[in-house]
Chains A and B, each alone.
Chain A
């Protein structure tokens, strides 16, 4: 069964350092989402792509976060510089498009020390 691949699974970084996460969606899925989830809370959308275009990044802290999906396939989310409050689970998901369910990767657990 096709899966959304994310790496790394765990990342510990010092504050003020740069960190990057990678996501490979299910083949053929045009929509890709990056979410942040703090323990005990629901997922918060950071950025949504339709193919290579950003369709929603209203909640992305653009002074330190960036995301790209250059060829409309895999995607990278970067934080620079990382802050203590960025410690969370970062989830990537993909879907075929309109009205369809999203499939999630296992996530990257980020700890900023």
Chain B
């Protein structure tokens, strides 16, 4: 079946460092891909999305490109802030109406 694999956390960085959180997927067909963010004590928020190959989703300085050849959707940010500390989830939506989730990656940014 379809699946999503994320890099394990926690990922700890200093403020202004470059961020990459890896996400790869297994799916038949052409799923849509998403990154969600969950701040402490809050619900899940959509961060960005991409619906077809080579699409780049972007929001709040974060970017991710839908790479069909490598089945990847890595999340990147050029300069992280303390306020970016959260848990990040990669997910896909497939042709069976299923939403498949990665395990989440906790990001800790130190000042």
Residues on A facing B (Cβ under 8 Å): 31, 33, 41-43, 45, 48, 50, 55-56, 91, 93, 95, 97-107
Contacts and interface: CB of A to CB of B under 8 A. Distances in A.
A98 B104 contact: no
Contacts of B45: 104
A67 to B, nearest CB: 16
A40 to B, nearest CB: 8
A91 B43 contact: yes
A22 to B, nearest CB: 15
B57 to A, nearest CB: 10
Contact of B49 (A31, A45, A56, A101): A101
A22 B104 CA distance: 26
Given A41-B104, A42-B103, A101 B32 contact: yes
A50 B34 contact: no
Interface in B26-57: 31-32, 34, 42-46, 49, 51
Given A91-B43, A104-B44, A42 B93 contact: no
A49 to B, nearest CB: 10
A48 B101 contact: no
28 contacts: A41-B103, A41-B104, A42-B103, A42-B104, A43-B44, A45-B99, A48-B97, A48-B98, A91-B44, A93-B44, A95-B93, A95-B99, A97-B97, A98-B97, A99-B51, A99-B93, A99-B94, A100-B32, A100-B93, A101-B46, A101-B93, A102-B46, A102-B93, A102-B99, A103-B46, A104-B44, A105-B43, A106-B42
A97 B97 CA distance: 7
The 5 closest A-B pairs by CB, nearest first: A99-B32, A104-B44, A104-B43, A42-B104, A106-B43
B14 interface: no
Contacts of A95: 93, 99
Nearest to A103: B46
B95 interface: yes
